[in-house]
Amino acid sequence: MTADIRPRHAGTEARKPLLAVQGVTRRYEGNRQAVTALEDVSFNVFEGEFVCIVGASGGGKSTLLNIVAGLDAPDAGHTLFDGEHVKGPGPDRVLVFQEAALLPWLNVRENVEFGLKLRHTLLADIAAKAERCLELVHLQDYQKLHPHELSGGMRQRVQIARALAVEPRMLLMDEPFAALDVQTRERLQDELQEIWMRTRSTVLFVTHNVREAAVLSDRVIVMTSSPGRVKCEIPVPLPRPRQMDSPPVTGVAMWIRAELQHTGPAGKEPAIASPS
């Protein structure tokens, strides 16, 4: 991860995508009935982009992220990462989950360094990278604490620092703030925006919170549910930093919500959080 050197690109049409999801379908054979979690899902993500996927609960978002991470495989279609078929997990794609899975016997710093050690990073580099990532998430002063001594927000910060430390080419975030209280969630959204402005990491971020998507993304992919399909893509060309309650962010959030209104199964209201 290098600060502020990657160029941002104006158009997306002519460039080769970093991630290309092409016609992905995933069915689960249940005991009583089969579920089509994803049906013919296609989209691209370009280097340096922050893309949010928004859809109702049970709409196949985690399934999609697991497929991109290489933890699950589609029944039809394929996923290309930097032009190569995704065949399994790799250090170029790191998943950040809703609940931080930290190692309880390691302190904050050791948790951040853990992934680097697994990758046989040079000792001097481990120290420098851990230092920089702890600073990015504002945990420099909490390095010696253990997970049980941390709040939920701090545990998510450690998880984000640990993911950033290994410098993946793409961060995959699956509703990382969904379990946090509103104040902590908004604070972490601001911090993630600040981190992204400094690192320009490529991020694929799943949420069902429309305001979160509006404040964070360059582009929002709206999904239908049952089965999960791409309904539309909404570009978000607003300057950063963005304020959560600003009129433009509110406008985009309302647009996303309007697109979601009719995406649920016939006759059912979609299970979507309101933007307020």
Q: Which partner, ligand ADP, Mg ion, none, binds residue 59 by CB below 5 to 8 Å per kind?
A: ligand ADP
What's the min distance (Å) between Cβ of 176 and Mg ion?
11
Angle ∠(135,6,141) on CA atoms, nearest 5:
0
The window from 27-35, 93-101, 164-172, 241-249 that contacts ligand ADP (CB under 6 A) reads 27-35
Task: Kindly report the length of the chain.
Answer: 276
Q: What's at 235, amino acid-wise?
A: P
Nearer to ligand ADP, 202 or 226 (CB): 226
Closest contact distance (angstroms) between CB of 53 and Mg ion is: 10
Q: Which is nearer to Mg ion, 111 or 207 (CB)?
A: 207
Q: How far is the CB of 56 from Mg ion (least distance, A)?
A: 10
> Pattern 41-80, binding to Mg ion, x per CB under 5 A?
---------------------x------------------
What's the min distance (Å) between Cβ of 247 and Mg ion?
Answer: 30
Only one residue has tokens 């009935």, namely: 33
- Say whether residue 226 binds Mg ion (CB under 5 A): no
Closest approach of ligand ADP to the CB of residue 113, in Å: 30
62 binds ligand ADP (CB under 6 A): yes
The site partner of 35 among Mg ion, ligand ADP, none (C-beta below 5 to 8 Å per kind) is: ligand ADP
Checking 251-260 for CB contacts under 8 A at 24+ apart, the result is 252/214, 252/220, 253/210, 253/211, 253/213, 253/214, 254/210, 256/54, 256/210, 256/213, 256/214, 256/220, 256/222, 257/210, 259/222, 259/231, 259/232, 259/234, 260/54, 260/55, 260/56, 260/210, 260/222
How many CA atoms lie less than 13 Å away from 63 in the CB half-sphere? 25
**Residue 146 DSSP symbol:** -
Residues that bind ligand ADP (CB under 6 A): 28, 30, 35, 37, 55, 57-63
